[in-house]
Amino acid sequence: MTGAYRSERQPRSPSTSAESSGGTSSLGDAVAANAAPECVRICRAPDEVWSYIKAQPKPLDSYESRRVFLRQQFEPLLSMLERFESSPLDG
């Protein structure tokens, strides 16, 4: 699904950024990692996300096509998160 971009970058370890700074990573949870879009797992900076989008086999030439693509990619993760009865912000 990712075309050439996938061969350039491999998914990063779930513990890469948050755990190295003392926090915990949401991607450390296998369920969350599987629900997260591939671009979340492999892209570390906004420029990398843009490269990932441009490398998709189906051309995403318009704002609308990119918006639809990203909505579809994030749907499994957002649906999973919406099933929780509370959030960290509920205090």
**Per-residue pLDDT at 15:** 42
List the chain domain ranges: 4-83
- DSSP at 8: H
Token digits for 24? 């915990």
**pTM tops 0.85, yes or no:** no
Question: What average pLDDT does the segment 69-83 reach?
Answer: 91
Contact 9, 42 (CB under 8 A): yes
- pLDDT, tens only, 20-39: 444 445 566 787 788 889 99
Q: Read off the pLDDT band of 7 (50, 70, 90).
A: very low
**C-alpha–C-alpha distance, residues 46 and 23, integer Å:** 22
